[in-house]
Amino acid sequence: MAESAIGVNWGTISFHRLKPSTVVDLLRLNKIPKVKLFEADSDVLRALMGSGVQVMVGIPNDMLPLLSSSPAAADLWVRQNVSAYMGKGGADIRYVAVGNEPFLSSYNGQFQNFVMPAISNLQQSLVKANLGGYVKLVVPCNADAYESASLPSQGAFRPELTQIMTQLVQFLNSNGSPFVVNIYPFLSLYDNADFPQEYAFFEGTTHPVTDGSNVYTNAFDGNYDTLVAALTKLGYGQMPIVIGEIGWPSDGAIGANITAARVFNQGLIYHIASNKGTPLRPNIPPMDVYLFSLLDEGAKSTLPGNFERHWGIFSFDGQAKYPLDLGLGNKQLKNARNVQYLPSRWCVANPSSDLADVVNHMRLACSVADCTTLNYGGSCNGIGEKGNISYAFNSYYQLKMQDSQSCDFDGLGMVTFLDPSIGDCHFLVGVTDKGSDSSTSQTTYQWWVLALLLILHGTLLLSM
């Protein structure tokens, strides 16, 4: 049996984006064999060409309506985002993720009916491109797609999803594709005050779950086997499973800290590497596991919680947050090389100013920059009022690439060359290699325009 591969999710919703080539070098330096992308960013895919890293490319949910209704749009998407980067010396694209958690209960079925028609069109497009056997279509699902009254063995897909899940797993099975699921024990702990904390980790628990002859000592195994039971009820109990996202944030909430993140991720990696599997799948671990996430993403929405910006095993600039043995040959993480930083200077509160009128300035700074570490449970929560002001000012100043006017704040800010970091609270310095000129949103927009033009052109031809 092939060993489970440890991969990473590479998200790019950041104010301080590293050059894609720097990130690909970071992947190779750490011998990370697989990467999952949330959309087809041309700069990222170009950087992955010739790297030997296997790639899963994502399609955002808002593209599903068009791809489900237009075979021409599916052809174009495959041509532009898969075929264009493959071939000798190209990117090794193995999977296309059709949507991202499209069955999430909070979407209220918004994307549900587009998934299978989009898969059908995309599969035909891959076949036309002679990639039908090599590139597999998958659908990353949130763990809320299935449920259990109390025990893993009682797992079943949500009733309103039974029909579409039956169709999906039939398709996956016939194409040799795995079922991709995102599992987050951290969120179980965060959302439920009664959840036993040690059950979220892999160190053993005083609150095991007994399910017949099976005993569960961690939330991951329990959740995973709930999915196995749900698949078994549909007649696909042996379907390979890939963990599309799993991880632990290092900041932004109580329980989200460096120690917990390291203990969880290291425990997970050792658990997977042991090949013990789970009670319902003994000795059969998941096919692949993609850690969430490679890098912090400081521009992500904080609607679920401030921790959303702190999932990375590396900080935004590719520096390891804690020692972690990925089981890939290196005993600990290696930092990104040749990162180009802005000069070592920071913006702080001017000690000679009256800070009585600072509230609106802080509000402005934090509405644009990332101040999540200042909040309750964050690593900068205890640095005092003046420290809070300085942190907010500096986050804004670095975001604005240290533009001198961005540290004015009506005379309340000043530039310093002394690092104002305090204890675990790190005042960042921005990076100069800000990704590239074309942003992902721009790439997405250009694709939409092209697709619509193509479809309009096709409609006009048909009507002539």
Q: Which residues are catalytic?
A: 101, 245
Which residues 6+ apart lie within 8 Å of 243 measured at CB? 180, 181, 182, 183, 286, 288, 289, 290
| Token pair of 327 as six digits | 């089981």
Strand partners, 215: 210
How many residues are given for the chain? 464
Strand duo 141-142 + 288-291: pairing: unpaired
**If you write DSSP's letter for every residue of 370-392 in order, what string do you get?**
--GGGSTTSTTTTSHHHHHHHHH
The answer to whether the CB of 101 falls within 8 A of the CB of 182 is yes
Rounded CA separation 7/143 (Å): 19
Residues pairing with 36 in the sheet: 9, 56
Token pair belonging to 129: 């491109």
Give the closest residue to 8 by CA, choosing from 288, 261, 293: 293
Please list, in sequence order, all residues whose beta carbon lies within 8 angstroms of the beta carbon of residue 257, skipping any fewer than 6 positions away.
Answer: 250, 251, 379
